[in-house]
Structure 1
Amino acid sequence: MRLRSFRLRIALLSAILAGTALVSFGLVAWRLIYAAKVNRLDARLESQVIRATRPRLQGRWGSFIASLPSELGADTDTPIALLVLDQQGRRLYQSDNWTDDFNINLLLPSYSPFFSAVQFNSPGHLSYDPEKFSSSQPNRKLDTSPSADRLPDGTLPDPQVMTQRTATGSWRVAAVDFPPAQAVLAINLQAIDQEMAAIRNIFVLVISGILLLIAGGAWGLSGNALHPIRKLTSAIQQVTVTGLDQRVPIGTGDLEFVELIQVFNQMLERLSRSFKQASRFSADAAHELKTPLAILQGELEHTLQHTEPGSPMQQSLSTLLDEVSRLNSIVRKLLLLSLADAGQISLHKVEVNLSTLLTVIVEDIELSAPHLEVQTHLPADLAVWGDLDLLTQLLQNLISNAIKYNLANGWIRIAGHQQGTNVQITITNASKPIPLPDRKRIFDRFYRGDPARTRKVEGIGLGLSLSREIARAHSGDLTLDPTPPGQTSFTLVLPGRVEASDTITPSKNL
């Protein structure tokens, strides 16, 4: 799944890149350290395995093996094994730690075991006959000087060194064929392995700490880099009908975001200008239509009074008068909506008892829709401060909507209660299910939903939109509630009655 957080992606990417580099460096460094330790050990092994072939050590290999830990730079408890052979492959000395698991053939290709001439005088000690060396090398003198470490041609011997694994662990094994003897010297790598394990653990801790620092630093730097974006987001969230004059200050922002902020501010400027023009046009058009419609309505009413009752002319004039009244209602609603868009709805606030107001409206329901069952659950005093006419229109719109979209022999339930400092009114009615697309657009202007559902219902799709604007003008809100199938419910929330110390227009209680 793709990560949607830009900051998180930056932090993870930085950690992955840095982690790859650090792990690679750690592996290379660990291998180099290991190789350096092994090479240093190899140099000492080669020197000591050559010493082991010197004739002067005959009979003293026990003391020689005891001195090897200090010579090889190892601990005294580090296992060390030594095997000395003559040129015919007969064992001259074998240490206690020696095991036949070592593959000597890989180190001494000419090695051929020959044990018949071996005589054990005591455990761990082999007899040694110097004549056997002299017989194999008749023209070679035994030399104990440092030059004895060289071959007859003056060159140094070339010991063979390799790592072998046995049942007792990993060993570094060195072997040399240096007349008059052959020697194999092995040291257990347990100490080096422990040192390398400690180094590995240190690398893991250090690399983990560095990765956390890098990830945290990348998170902080990306957050700082995204600060202009957060400012832009905050400004966008404030872009409302009354907030189109908001602008994002450029200040000393990063160059990469200056152009973006400038474009956004220019967009707000164009949007504000277009909105003002549209709002002004709507308000002007509605205002200009009021006068001719009022004149037309007056003339129709005057003519209707002088028309013969029951005549076709009277029926036509009555139809025209109804349409003019409908146009008056549309114009009035459009004018209120344009004022709401501009944030200029003028509220004449008085103390309004919503319980009393709803009781009066319920009485009208019983007259206009006697087939509907009306249930009310209202406290005696649900008082708010607001515009009486606008709140009456809001509640009438909701009740009218509940009647229009109700089922045959349906019901309407009106409930109200005080919730903290707010007053909440819920109007629920029986209805057909509202499709999800219609629920999302139910407060849109001139939107009436599925034509099959609304074709027999009068209206123009402005009632709910206007009702919500009136609620918001009173610092409240109107919402469509989630309900079980077969119901529709709207909830109106308005601020409750303010304290007496607040400045309120003198009013009367409804």
Structure 2
Amino acid sequence: MRRPASLGSRLAWLYSLAAAGVFTVAAWLIEQSVEAHFVEEDMRVMQGQFDIARAALAQLDTPAALRSLPARTRDALSTHTGLALRVARSNGDLLYSSAPAGEALPEFPLVSGTPQVHKWSRHGLDWRGFTAEAPASVAGEAPLLVTVALDIAHHEHFLRGFRHSLALVVGSAILIVAALSWAITRRALRPIRNMAHLAGEMSASRLGERLRVERLPRELHELAEAFNAMLGRLQDAFARLSEFSSDLAHELRTPISNLTMQTEVSLSRSRSADEYREVLFSSLEEYRRLSRMVADMLFLAQADNGLMVPRNETVELGALADGLIEYFEPLASERALTLKRSGEACATVDPLMIRRALANLLSNAVRHATPGSQVDLRITHSGNAIALQVSNQGEPIPAQHQHRLFDRFYRVDPSRTRTSEGAGLGLAITRSIVEAHGGSVALESNRDATNFTLWLPVSPGKEAATPPD
């Protein structure tokens, strides 16, 4: 497949075509100006000859004097090389012609009595001339038709040479402009080539490189800044992917190590049926943990690829929240916590997904709330958005961790046991669910309370719900 022309080639061609057009028009105007000058000079000479002929005809008052016209005009023409004169009656009778032998001067028609300048070539000669009326003093004689012609061969020879030289100059100028355009555009587009070179050599180990914006032309600042921002996003995404791979390996290693150790211990000696049954129950718990982790990972993979489509229906969010509170009541009572729901709202959402998102938030709130405190679930309606807020009292989340808290496998305190806190995918799943509904999540944590807020649109198809300013 043929590759398209480069941007530099296109710009060079456009500059060259523009220069060719300008030079061609300029050369044509110069050539027309020179030719107009020659026409003006020729007209001055021919008009002088016509005036002489008209004055001579005005002195002819008898037929005999009219017949002496050749002798009267011969002396007047002898000082003008290349001039020819033709005098004829209006009926076509030729009275006089000074044209070279074998050369008959044409008689041009008059348009409303106004002479028109004509140019013609005959027998290798180039002529310019006109026909005009000249009154005669002979009684009863109609005005005579006088044709004045000038041999312009030397003018035409000069113009042909001038046009040839002009064509060479214009052609050379176009070639020079084309070469300069190519050099200038190639130099001007060097930053783009550097950008392409950097993109071509980009790899996982060189994601930290950036274009130097301060050295670029102003027109490329926005492109370079966008390119650097893209590299920054790629670097951040790659770093998170590396962390994710490491965390995933760690999460999988723990249950697999437990299963391997239990199996090796069980096989180290003969055991009773009850002991084997106990080992199998312990292994079953690890298998379930692995199954939940795989299911969560598949769920997030579907969300990342846009395959998670909510099955929307109208839901009473208050009733949905009451069901979750009832579910978490036993766990909360173990820590002397009080669960409270306030507010009502209806929304068109997928009830199972929203239930799962709220369950993840309530689970975290119950786990990290100060014993004996209260966990609140508030439902509020603001414009086109509905807010579901889960609040608990406890240790505040440091600011440096808040923007990472919804990442997969991310924990504020990595030293906490993973067995008691799950796989660290709950908040990532919550964010994916809310974004699939066209909403967003928000976190605010201070000494007073930690608030997780889910912003959802009232109904699908409306503008994505965002926290109000």
| TM-score, normalising length: structure 2 | 0.40
Q: Considering fraction of residues, name the structure with more helix.
A: 2
